[in-house]
A and B are shown apart, each in its own frame.
Chain A
């Protein structure tokens, strides 16, 4: 069989980037395999297995409903309070899982990075897949509750994937920053849980962002505000109403995080194998 023209590869300082995106495409199967590995291994040797993906949000849901709904008596409009919380919890859990997986991914795969070449971007990207599985499980919980309260989402639910993507891109952008930083400075391992803890209370998870009418613009600088508002808008009959400016701010922040995260990752990637 006639071989195709052999590609010529030049290795030089600062030059490794030439075929990067083509390589990323060429290694897409590896991305799939790594994601598949993480999913497969995730609930090995656990008795409750994938139920764990359900227990955590269910408990958080109960606690938040009690604190914000009952104790603080925050308004929920015409929807049951637990549903309001769950619609916030859904994107937040997705973000938290994707972000923390991506942040730890490079260090967790040290053995691969120091022994094999592939575009390093594959590692944080594939780690996000597990978060999607857990997201699917919580989505089942949501559907169950919707049936329970006989609450049918309207046509807006079709736009939900857009906000899933917004959540994922935010998680990937922040995750790229932190995973690349963790390679060099292991301090950032401690920053991740801290950021998530603070972020949970800085995002409108347990309450509606309409409770902060005067601050919504600044609040939207947190891209998860846009994502959570979007989820509620899609699932709860357009309540609260989406403000295009505020949503735009969140999307822009998410894009900024993603682009800068990619930039920092690509800039430091070449030295990963030397310093990891």
Chain B
């Protein structure tokens, strides 16, 4: 690791929220100018400021692979846009030493009417490759994308999978000193995602390139990034080793999900929350609220845990606890569901909830909760989850000489 290649200090970016709406047509703008002239400046106070980034400072050393984490709207994409020179900061400065290529979207500039071959050149040029560079890597790109047979077919006839593969293949063969990548691995089928991830790992490990990487895929972040940068509401909350940032971020808690009832005359679920602190320790603790116009006798809550692709992993409800379980009839209450050891690999999971009284189900919330789980023990050698499945059973191993 060498000198710092990206130094950001006091970076801030301001957007006007209502500004765009009000000034999008010439008339609005003229009206506003006229009002300003006549001293009626009521309109201006309506323009609501929004700071997408505030006082962001950090350094990135040469060859470092930085994962940027944070919830939606935390400023991750804005930060990447500023560093990619697409938009300029409102305050502060960033110094970048080296050639930057940014990949904020897969397939930027692909034209549906052009063939795969033509799009490789077009997209390569848009991403900053020279014609000679593209020609040199052309075969490699085509092989990576697995689209040899369709090279001269118009891209509009491609399946979405082929399209994404081709687009990523071009981007994967960029050779900048600094690579900026937004959430682009969330596309394509699982197998291709794995391939992309592998390519990113290769690039990160072997080439010594500096990478800034935004993702919600915690497993990918753990596998690729050394350093983490956690943003919240436009500010840096924590910067440091990836695992520390990630567990701090995941432990920071989420807003509980609130549900609005379709009809108050029916028993319904009101809220659901997941205890992130417990989750960071490998335990699952979920609290679910319900309300009913009449007492439920007994209130029965059903839960199904799904993989991120929606396959059920395990489901249960209160009655499956056995005969001894007899909660009192309740018209409103809070149900707590706990699991002391969550036998799962690091991935994203979803939870579906049901509310009933033993004779029928009254309410159902599909994907009521979604959570990123980082297993306390992470093994870099874990095969891909669509191959071994998401469940991590407590196997015991022994080997003896035969």
Q: How far is the CB of A10 from chain B (nearest CB, A)?
A: 5
Q: Name the segment of B105-113, B144-152, B333-341 touching the other chain.
A: B105-113
Smallest Cβ-Cβ distance to B29: which chain A residue: A185
Q: Give B34-78 interface residues, CB cut-off 8 Å to A.
A: none
User: Is A9 a contact partner of B96 (Cβ separation < 8 A)?
Assistant: yes
Q: A-facing mask of B89-113, CB < 8 A → 1, else 0?
A: 1111111111110101100110101
A187 CB-CB contact with B under 8 Å: yes
Q: B-facing mask of A30-43, CB < 8 A → 1, else 0?
A: 10010011001100
Specify which chain B residues have a CB less than 8 angstroms from the CB of A37 in the assembled complex.
111, 114, 118, 122
Specify which chain A residues have a CB less than 8 angstroms from the CB of B126 in the assembled complex.
30, 33, 112, 116, 118
Q: Name the segment of B80-88, B188-196, B265-273 touching the other chain.
A: B80-88
Smallest Cβ-Cβ distance to A269: which chain B residue: B88
Q: How far is the CB of B138 from chain A (nearest CB, A)?
A: 15
User: Is A186 a contact partner of B97 (Cβ separation < 8 A)?
Assistant: no
User: Is A111 a contact partner of B87 (Cβ separation < 8 A)?
Assistant: no
A273 CB-CB contact with B under 8 Å: yes
Specify which chain B residues have a CB less than 8 angstroms from the CB of A275 in the assembled complex.
20
Specify which chain B residues have a CB less than 8 angstroms from the CB of A214 in the assembled complex.
none
Specify which chain B residues have a CB less than 8 angstroms from the CB of A78 in the assembled complex.
none
A11 CB-CB contact with B under 8 Å: yes
Q: A6-B177, A29-B131, A187-B26 are in contact. Are A11 and B94 (CB under 8 A)?
A: yes
Specify which chain A residues have a CB less than 8 angstroms from the CB of B92 in the assembled complex.
12
Most buried by A among B96, B100, B109, B118: B109
User: Is B83 a contact partner of A29 (Cβ separation < 8 A)?
Assistant: no
A117 CB-CB contact with B under 8 Å: yes
Smallest Cβ-Cβ distance to B118: which chain A residue: A40
User: Is A6 a contact partner of B109 (Cβ separation < 8 A)?
Assistant: no
Specify which chain A residues have a CB less than 8 angstroms from the CB of B114 in the assembled complex.
37, 40-41
Specify which chain B residues have a CB less than 8 angstroms from the CB of A270 in the assembled complex.
87-88
Smallest Cβ-Cβ distance to A112: which chain B residue: B109
Q: Which of A6, A45, A273 contacts B86 (CB 8 A)?
A: A273
Smallest Cβ-Cβ distance to A8: which chain B residue: B97
Smallest Cβ-Cβ distance to B119: which chain A residue: A37
Q: A-facing mask of B156-179, CB < 8 A → 1, else 0?
A: 000000000000000000000100
How many residue pairs, one in A and one in B, have C-beta atoms under 8 Å apart? Answer: 112
A274 CB-CB contact with B under 8 Å: yes
Q: How far is the CB of A129 from chain B (nearest CB, A)?
A: 14
User: Is A11 a contact partner of B96 (Cβ separation < 8 A)?
Assistant: yes
B254 CB-CB contact with A under 8 Å: no
User: Is B113 a contact partner of A45 (Cβ separation < 8 A)?
Assistant: yes
Give the size category of B's interface with A.
Answer: 35 or more
Specify which chain A residues have a CB less than 8 angstroms from the CB of B29 in the assembled complex.
184-185
Specify which chain B residues have a CB less than 8 angstroms from the CB of A33 in the assembled complex.
121-122, 125-126
B127 CB-CB contact with A under 8 Å: yes
Inter-chain CA distance A9–B84, complex, in Å, is 11
Inter-chain CA distance A154–B173, complex, in Å, is 54
Specify which chain B residues have a CB less than 8 angstroms from the CB of A30 in the assembled complex.
125-126
Q: How far is the CB of A181 from chain B (nearest CB, A)?
A: 9
Specify which chain A residues have a CB less than 8 angstroms from the CB of B90 in the assembled complex.
13
User: Is B88 a contact partner of A11 (Cβ separation < 8 A)?
Assistant: yes
User: Is B25 a contact partner of A116 (Cβ separation < 8 A)?
Assistant: no
User: Is B93 a contact partner of A12 (Cβ separation < 8 A)?
Assistant: yes
A114 CB-CB contact with B under 8 Å: yes
Specify which chain B residues have a CB less than 8 angstroms from the CB of A45 in the assembled complex.
113
Q: Give A101-151 interface residues, CB cut-off 8 Å to B.
A: 111-118
A241 CB-CB contact with B under 8 Å: no
Q: Which of B15, B93, B130 contacts A11 (CB 8 A)?
A: B93
Q: How far is the CB of B122 from chain A (nearest CB, A)?
A: 5
Inter-chain CA distance A7–B85, complex, in Å, is 15
A159 CB-CB contact with B under 8 Å: no
Q: B-facing mask of A1-25, CB < 8 A → 1, else 0?
A: 0000011111111111000000000
B323 CB-CB contact with A under 8 Å: no
User: Is B25 a contact partner of A187 (Cβ separation < 8 A)?
Assistant: yes
Inter-chain CA distance A111–B130, complex, in Å, is 21
Q: Which of B26, B88, B121 contacts A185 (CB 8 A)?
A: B26
Specify which chain B residues have a CB less than 8 angstroms from the CB of A9 in the assembled complex.
85, 95-97, 100
User: Is A11 a contact partner of B111 (Cβ separation < 8 A)?
Assistant: no
User: Is B130 a contact partner of A29 (Cβ separation < 8 A)?
Assistant: yes
Inter-chain CA distance A45–B114, complex, in Å, is 11
Q: Which of B27, B91, B102, B108 contacts A111 (CB 8 A)?
A: B108
9 nearest A-B pairs in the assembled complex, by CB-CB distance: A117-B85, A33-B125, A187-B26, A11-B94, A185-B26, A12-B93, A9-B96, A273-B87, A115-B108
User: Which residues of B are at the interface with A, using a C-beta cutoff of 8 A?
Assistant: 5, 15, 20, 23-27, 29, 81-100, 102, 104-105, 108-109, 111, 113-114, 118, 121-122, 125-128, 130-131, 177
5 pairs across A/B with beta carbons < 8 Å?
A9-B85, A40-B113, A112-B109, A185-B26, A274-B87
